[in-house]
Every structure is written in C-alpha cells, then in structure tokens.
Amino acid sequence: MSAAPSPTGPLRHFLQLRDFSADEIQYVLSRARIIKDKFKRYQPHHTLHDRNLAMVFEKASTRTRVSFEAGMYQLGGSVIYLTTEGSQLGRAEPIEDTARVISRMVDLVMIRTFEQTRIERFAAHSRVPVINGLTNEFHPCQILADILTFVEHRGSIHGKTVAWIGDANNMSYTWLQAAELLGFTLHVSGPEGYRLDPRRTRVQPATTLREFSDPRQACEGADLVTTDVWTSMGYEDENEVRRRAFADWCVDAQMMSAAHEDALFMHCLPAHRGEEVMGEVIDGPQSVVWDEAENRLHVQKALMEFLLLGRLS
Ligand code: CP
Ligand code: NVA
C-alpha cells in the first residue's frame, strides 16, 4: 500500500464540482456507467486493491457512508470510519494536524463537515486526495450522482433546464456549478431571505441562472425538478422559522404539471414528505430518487479510481 502522492500526476482533490473540468466530469460519469454495468453483472472490479479510504464524518449520514464504504470494499480496498465525537477532532485537535496524520496512513480521505474552509484546511495539509462528502457550501458527490441519473434516463443534460425549488443551500450552489460547467440552465426559486447570495452566483454565461419568486414559474419548461430539505444539517435551530417561510415551496403535483410532461423529479434524500415535497411526487412516476441514491455508489467508485489512478479508459 502507498500513502504517497499519486504516481499518476499532481495531487488532486474534489472539494467542489469545479475542481474538475467538464471533460473530467464526463470521464467520471462514463466510467461510472462501466463500473455500474459490471456491478450489475456481478463482475469483480478490484482496481483499488489494498487501498485504504478514511471517512471523517462531522455530521450524520446514511447514503454517503454506505456508498463510500460499500464502494471501497467493492473496489478491493478497505475503509476506516471516523466521527468527530469518536476521534480527537471532538477534543479540539486541529484539523491541520488531523490531516497530516491521517494522510500518512491511508490513500484517500472523504470528509463531511461544516464550513468549506474546514475541508480546504484539511486538504492543504493532506498528502492524499480529499473528497468533499458534504459541507455547508457544497455537495459535489451528490450532483455527480444526480447528473448520472439524468443522463441514464434522458441522455445529455447539455441545453436542458433544471428547476431548483427551495433553500439556497449546498445542493443549489453545486447545481449552479454544474450548470456552468456542463452547459444547462438552472431555474431557482425560494422564499425571500433564503435566496442565492449574489456574491456566489457569478456564472458564465449569465443566462445560465434564472431566479423566480414564484416556484411554479421556475418549474415552467423544466426537464428536471429538484428540491431538498428546508433545514440543512447544522441549521436545526432555524427549523420552525424555516417551516413557515418555505410553506409555499413544497413540490406538489401542480408544480410538476408546470414542468415538461416528461420532467424527472429528484431529491438527494433524506426527504420530509408533506414539507419540501408531497408524497404524490416523490413516490410518483416521475420520481427517480432511488436510482439517484444508488448512483452515489457507482459514481463515487469512479471518482475514487480517477483520483488515485487517473484515466483508465
Ligand atoms: N444525500 C446524502 O448525502 O445523504 P446522507 O446524508 O444520508 O449521506
Ligand atoms: N442540504 C442537506 C443535504 C443532506 C444530504 C444538508 O446539508 O443537510
């Protein structure tokens, strides 16, 4: 096992979607489809034999943990699971020292944490690639899975329209990076006080992003309607205020009917039926949320391979 910088080139991290070029994202997506196909046919795919992934969770998780852990074993490697409370991070060991130590012992690190600056500080002191498993600002692994899911169901996302309904959170800002990189339009609608921060929305071309006060209008012409919880992890104190503010931003059948007839519905999960989405939508025929969740597994296997081995096909 090697815990040294990759022999395939300079050390790369995946801290936000735009750490990769459009071409690299397309490569990871196409590789994910190959890996998924082999998985479905029970063909072994041990490209990361003997490699070790450390997973650091400073927030709760179901999908991220299971997909990275199962994925690494399926690639022939192994994992170490760490939490804030169960490690010295919870007793104020600096993140920089944690990074120096962990990255001398493993080949790859995935972190779920709070501020983006925290994962950036970790990466700056890491000898091995670092993957963002969700921060307050971004959730790039989820967006890779979402785009893979769109492509599987509808083909290329280039030129399409995605409607984001709800909070200006880590998912929405990652969708915005995806729209700019991959050439589609993002419609966004959320209540006043919870809208995108203009300091974070400079994209090229400017028409990539269209903001709407009416969520139904945002859904018009959409090929995909997507939403997320009204209160993200770390913001629980705002739960009641947010519940009132977001009441009109629940994705229901009426909203879906404003979108294209064949529009898909996605949600990164966990979902709260009756809040950000009605059961009739998330459990309805346009919803692809289970494929979306499964694709975390396949796309992250491709991502880990790419970071450690570079391009293989
Ligand atoms: N979508 C997602 O990241 O789910 P978890 O919080 O369960 O990992
Ligand atoms: N925006 C949500 C996503 C959970 C997967 C959160 O950060 O809690």
Convert the pLDDT of each residue in 34-91 to its tens digit. Answer: 999 999 999 999 999 999 999 999 999 999 999 999 999 999 999 999 999 999 999 9
Find out whether the beta carbon of 292 lies less than 6 Å from any atom of ligand 2.
no
Find out whether the beta carbon of 264 lies less than 6 Å from any atom of ligand 1.
no
Domain that residue 303 falls in: 17-139+293-309
Is residue 52 domain-shared with residue 147, that is, in the same domain?
A: no
Q: How far is the CA of 207 from the centre of ligand 1 (A)?
A: 30
| Predicted pLDDT of residue 278 | 98
Q: With 0-12 CB in 10 A as exposed, 13-18 as middle and 19+ as buried, what is 135?
A: buried
Residue 115 has which token pair?
A: 């501020």
Is residue 199, in this structure, part of any structural domain at all? yes
Peptide bond into 270 cis (omega under 30): yes
Is residue 9, in this structure, part of any structural domain at all? no
| Predicted pLDDT of residue 149 | 99
Is residue 203 domain-shared with residue 275, that is, in the same domain?
A: yes
Is residue 192 domain-shared with residue 223, that is, in the same domain?
A: yes
| Predicted pLDDT of residue 9 | 77
Q: Which residue's CA is the closest to the ligand 2 atom numbered 3?
A: 232
Q: How many domains does the chain have?
A: 2
Is residue 123, in this structure, part of any structural domain at all? yes
Q: Is 226 helix (H, G, I), strand (E, B) or coil?
A: strand
Q: How far apart are CA 202 and CA 210, in angstroms?
A: 12
Is residue 157 domain-shared with residue 268, that is, in the same domain?
A: yes
Find out whether the beta carbon of 146 lies less than 6 Å from any atom of ligand 2.
no
What one-character DSSP code corresponds to residue 183? T
- Residue 15: pLDDT band with limits 50, 70, 90: very high
Q: How far apart are CA 243 and CA 191, in angstroms?
A: 11
Is residue 122 domain-shared with residue 36, that is, in the same domain?
A: yes
Write the CATH number for 234: 3.40.50.1370
Q: Which of 117, 166, 122, 170 lies closest to 146 in space, CA to CA?
A: 170
Is residue 298 domain-shared with residue 285, that is, in the same domain?
A: no
Is residue 6, in this structure, part of any structural domain at all? no
Is residue 211, in this structure, part of any structural domain at all? yes
Q: How far apart are CA 216 and CA 245, in angstroms?
A: 16
Q: How far apart are CA 144 and CA 174, in angstroms?
A: 10
Is residue 174 domain-shared with residue 109, that is, in the same domain?
A: no
Atom of ligand 2 nearest to the CA of 171: 1
Is residue 102 domain-shared with residue 225, that is, in the same domain?
A: no
Is residue 180 domain-shared with residue 251, that is, in the same domain?
A: yes
9's torsion region: left (phi>0), alpha (psi -120 to 50) or beta? left
| Predicted pLDDT of residue 138 | 98
Is residue 109 domain-shared with residue 224, that is, in the same domain?
A: no
pTM of the model: 0.97
Is residue 178 domain-shared with residue 74, that is, in the same domain?
A: no
Q: Is 123 helix (H, G, I), strand (E, B) or coil?
A: helix
Q: How far is the CA of 100 from the centre of ligand 2 (A)?
A: 28
Q: Is 228 a catalytic residue?
A: yes
β-pair partners for 109: 54, 130
| Predicted pLDDT of residue 1 | 42
β-pair partners for 265: 225, 287
Q: How far apart are CA 305 and CA 76, in angstroms?
A: 11
Question: How would you list the strands of the sheet with 78-83, edge to edge?
Answer: 78-83, 52-57, 108-112, 130-132
Is residue 124, in this structure, part of any structural domain at all? yes
